[in-house]
């Protein structure tokens, strides 16, 4: 039986190097949400040489658009978005220091190569469990792009947020039929 690893965010390069595709992990600490529209804005800022609203160095972005929380709860349902929607943006953000991403589903070859080159990792969260995943969120605050509504960038404080390493920094994948990168 595989041991579930507990890791504190933000991740160090050593943390990332210790992770292998298929590892089950509970994340505790700080992460951010961002989806397509926020990714596009972040990449435009990078291209223009401007400061980002959040320093990405060592950080984790969860591809999610949370619903508002009920009274007494920091957030509502917060299920993962399909990761491939961020494929055109992720390599640039990884190069800018992003250490990890959380979503669901496959990533393209450019993302996998960036993960390997810059020592980053992609986690998968289970889709359809947004209400259950919200129980791991202890604090949530919009920190950028409030005009995007649910796609605004939120800063989250999480405790024991469950994920699986889908793509590690060695080029390995949990998905059947995907060859390891050499």
Q: Which residues are catalytic?
A: 39
The residue to which tokens 């796609």 are assigned: 151
**Residue 97, both tokens:** 């220091």
The three-class DSSP label of residue 117 is helix
User: What letter would DSSP give residue 173?
Assistant: B
- Contact 89/43 with Cβ under 8 angstroms? yes
The number of CA neighbours under 13 Å toward the Cβ of 78 is: 36
| Alpha carbons 91 and 167: distance in angstroms, whole number | 14
Cis peptide before 136 (omega within 30 of 0): no
Query: Phi and psi of 91, rounded to 5°?
Result: -55, -40
Identify whether 117 is preceded by a cis peptide bond (ω within 30 of 0): no
Residue 14 neighbours by CB distance under 10 Å: 8
């Amino acid at each position: 039986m595989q041991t579930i690893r507990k890791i504190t965010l933000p991740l160090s390069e050593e943390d990332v190097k210790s992770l292998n595709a298929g590892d089950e992990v509970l994340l505790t600490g700080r992460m951010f949400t961002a989806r397509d529209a926020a990714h596009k804005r972040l990449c435009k800022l990078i291209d223009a040489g401007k400061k980002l609203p959040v320093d990405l160095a060592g950080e984790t972005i969860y591809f999610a658009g949370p619903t508002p929380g009920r009274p007494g709860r920091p957030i509502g349902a917060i299920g993962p978005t399909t990761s491939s929607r961020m494929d055109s943006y992720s390599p640039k953000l990884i190069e800018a220091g992003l250490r990890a991403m959380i979503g669901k589903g496959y990533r393209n070859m450019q993302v996998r190569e960036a993960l390997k080159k810059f020592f980053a990792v992609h986690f998968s969260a289970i889709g359809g469990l947004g209400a259950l995943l919200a129980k791991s969120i202890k604090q949530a605050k919009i920190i950028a792009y409030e005009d995007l509504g649910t796609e605004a960038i939120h800063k989250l404080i999480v405790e024991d947020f469950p994920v699986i390493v889908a793509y590690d920094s060695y080029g390995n994948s949990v998905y059947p039929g995907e060859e390891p990168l050499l």
